[in-house]
Amino acid sequence: MTETRIERHHYDVVVIGAGGAGLRAAIEARLAGKKTAIISKSLFGKAHTVMAEGGAAAAMGNVNPRDNWQVHFRDTMRGGKFLNNFRMAELHAKESPQRIWELETYGALFDRTKDGKISQRNFGGHEYPRLAHVGDRTGLELIRTLQQKIVSLQQEDKRELGDYEARIRVFAETTITELLLDGDRVAGAFGYYRESGEFILFEAPAVVLATGGVGRSYKVTSNSWEYTGDGHALALRAGATLINMEFLQFHPTGMVWPPSVKGILVTESVRGDGGVLKNSEGKRFMFDYVPDVFRKQYADNEAEADRWYKDPDNNRRPPELLPRDEVARAINSEVKAGRGTPAGGVYLDIASRLPAEEIRRRLPSMHHQFKELADVDITKEPMEVGPTCHYVMGGVEVDPDSGAAAGSVRGLFAAGEVSGGMHGSNRLGGNSLSDLLVFGKRAGGHAASYTDQLPTRPKISVAAVEAAVETALAPLQRDTGESPYVLQQDLQAVMGELVGIIRREGELVDALGKLAQLRERVAKVSAAGGRRYNPGWHLALDLRNMLVVSECTAKAALERQESRGGHTREDFPQMDAKWRRVNLVCSLDGDAVRLERKPLPKMRPELISLFDRAELAKYLTDEELAEFDALTEEAGK
């Protein structure tokens, strides 16, 4: 390999990731007049965003006029167990309605209310009906709308400049393996075309990461093959930091049978529309699992719960609509107690609750999916569901307003699932689609203005490119190492068994030992075949990303000695107010993951005053509560 051909491109902003956040960021950068590239690991329009079913949360108040951003903010903080970056939660609650309305001007067609506005549905953890939706294929609508908006911008450029790709171009089936720096500034990105295996180099002063999550490190996952933590790992290697990596959301209701569809999600709206969870004894068990902090909002008997669907103002909610972690834990406990289904899940029953016609109307793609994939008719029989790895709350530590990555690097931005802080320890359903839009737009806009205030364009060093080429080609040139598929299975086994939904100190220590061994094996991985569309080679390159991100998760999970949201320690089952004030921050020290504690930013007075003292008492330390009391006293004067 003496001569390696590398295709070079110059852009102002390179967006890595073509899901909701990436496309929204690219639109914003292009609208700011920047020459923008979108890197998509799959074909354009196939991103994992299409899988989001329920909807996009935005306090538009179309269904219940009492809804507003303050209520949405409260719900988000509550859902994240107060570990959220309050500023991100605030911006998200304030800006999501505009972001949704904007989509309509791009051509989105949401379901409507009777008076012609965007309809909104109930969802776990949201006080009012808040999720804008299109049947149960909201994610597809979102991605298609953004995709078509990009096409529309390209058509404008074609009219104006004679070339569709004059100012915005999509590089489909392209993977970035390395970010390139000039000192502490981002200078570009290096990667390869999956189709041809040819290398490609982007010279760009600003990069937006929008690569999604890390779920492929787990065996039972709803995530697609793309979710290998690329953005997390790229950020780490470029000198940025990750926060909250111990918090992974296991969606409570993924399909567990048949095996071909294990992990695929059953949307929460099945429960929002009346579906109930039953164990193998036929008992509706969720009433036994309402935690004290939620007693006020959730019913303790079936009669009241059932009335809620018709009259939500005068009844408490059914416990099936508790936040996701509570439901996941409840199912896990039932299964461990031997009351699960043969396949290791529980039953989710909507068939006995609604007429068949109504189920087909409200949950068309759910019905379709089960019929086609599993030959199960959800209007006739219950589904078998269980927890599945779904979403990582943790991610790149960012400035809440601009999405700029923290740490030593400049010119790097992150939005969507790859960024951390917004959702705290647990994300509410529906908050991710609006998160993508709100922070995608912000990251794209700030990346554009960052390039404006740069005095000189950063330069790429030849040595860095050569090193990147060498790393990328290494697995193909070795024939002594192990198969990447075997290594991935082993990694999934470690993460699934030892860093899964319920964690213990001994197992986490064990996991770190096994990950260290895996690291050595991954360094020697070899891939058979050539460079042209070779999935084995692609996986071999993704493995090192999956590995470093898994190490972050395991380390942070071992450090945090409490249970909160998406992190459950069997040896520390309680939430601990002292831990609420701490963010665990991962960075890279050479090759090793370094973990530090960092204080959580303090909520502004007018925001903390939105909560009842009684509620805050469950989360805050005595010291913080005293501060809060002083604050209210002052306000009372």
Site for another protein in 378-437 (CB under 8 A): none
Q: Identity (one letter) of the amino acid at 377?
A: D
Stretches 142-150, 271-279, 325-333, 569-577: which one binds another protein (CB under 8 A)? 142-150
Q: How far is the CB of 53 from another protein (least distance, A)?
A: 9
Stretch of residues binding another protein (CB under 8 A), selected from 43-51, 80-88, 198-206, 459-467: 43-51
Q: Where are the beta strands (DSSP E) in 300-370?
A: 346-349
SS3 283: coil
Q: Which stretch binds another protein (CB under 8 A): 105-113, 230-238, 275-283, 565-573?
A: 105-113
Taking the C-alpha atoms of residue 391 and residue 198, their distance in angstroms, rounded to an integer, is: 32
State how far the alpha carbon of 186 is from the alpha carbons of 35, 179, 209, 472, in Å: 16, 7, 12, 20
Q: Identify which range of 48-56, 242-250, 351-359, 555-563 contacts another protein by CB under 8 A.
A: 48-56
Going by the DSSP 8-state scheme, the letter that residue 32 receives in this structure is T
111 binds another protein (CB under 8 A): yes
Stretch 614-633 residues interacting with another protein (CB under 8 A): none
Which of 63, 68, 94, 102: binder of another protein (CB under 8 A)? Answer: 102
Q: How far apart are CA 498 and CA 505, in angstroms?
A: 10
CB of 325 to another protein, least distance (A): 23
Residue pair 458/186 in contact by the 8 Å Cβ criterion: yes
Interactions with another protein, residue window 189-208 (CB under 8 A) = 195
The answer to whether the beta carbons of residues 391 and 227 sit under 8 Å apart is no
Rounded least distance, CB 384 to another protein, Å: 12
Nearest approach, Cβ of 67 to another protein (angstroms)?
15
Q: Is 355 in the site for another protein (CB under 8 A)?
A: no
Tell me which of 48, 185, 216, 251 is the catalytic residue.
251
The DSSP output letter for 404 is: B
Sign of CA dihedral 239, 243, 247, 248: negative
- Sign for the CA dihedral angle at 322, 385, 110, 351 comes to negative
Told to check if 357 binds another protein by CB under 8 A, we report no
Q: Which of 121, 126, 216, 271 is catalytic?
A: 271
CA distances from residue 88 to 73, 203, 408, 510 in whole angstroms, order as listed: 10, 30, 21, 35
| Token representation of residue 53 | 């079913």
Pick out residues in 220-279 that bind another protein (CB under 8 A): 224-226, 257-261, 264
Q: How many residues bind another protein (CB under 8 A)?
A: 73
Nearer to another protein, 225 or 287 (CB): 225
Which residue, 51 or 396, has its beta carbon nearer to another protein?
A: 51
How are strands ordered across the β-sheet holding 131-132? 56-57, 131-132, 120-121
Pick the binder of another protein from 7, 33, 66, 152 (CB under 8 A): 152
Parallel/antiparallel/unpaired status of strands 592-599 and 56-57? unpaired
Check binding of 50 to another protein (CB under 8 A): yes
Neighbours of 363 (CB within 10 A): 25
Residues from 155 through 184 that contact another protein (CB under 8 A): 155, 164, 172
Is 140 among the residues that bind another protein (CB under 8 A)?
A: yes
Q: What are the E-state strand segments in 168-222?
A: 168-171, 174-182, 185-193, 199-203, 206-209
Is 271 in the active site?
yes
Q: If you write DSSP's letter for every residue of 541-581 in order, what string do you get?
A: HHHHHHHHHHHHHHHHHHH--S-BTTBEETTB-S--HHHHT
Question: Smallest gap, in angstroms, from Cβ of residue 334 to another protein?
Answer: 23
Tell me, residue by residue from 450 to 489, as one string, x for binding to another protein by CB under 8 A and - for no binding.
Answer: ---------------------------------xxxx--x
Instruction: Select from 74-82, 131-139, 272-280, 332-340 the region that touches another protein (CB under 8 A).
Output: 131-139
Q: Is 42 in the site for another protein (CB under 8 A)?
A: yes
Distance, CA of 118 to CA of 132 (rounded, Å):
6
Instruction: Draw the binding track, 518-547, toward another protein (x: CB under 8 A; -: no contact).
Output: ---------xxxx-xxxxxx----------
> CB 135 → another protein: shortest distance, Å?
8
| Residue among 450, 304, 275 at smallest CA distance from 367 | 275
Q: Helix (H, G, I), strand (E, B), or coil: what is residue 429?
A: coil
Question: Is 72 a catalytic site residue?
Answer: no
Shortest Cβ 155–another protein spacing (Å)? 6
User: Which of these ranges, 218-226, 344-352, 395-403, 410-418, lies near another protein under the rule CB under 8 A?
Assistant: 218-226
Which amino acids are annotated catalytic? 251, 271
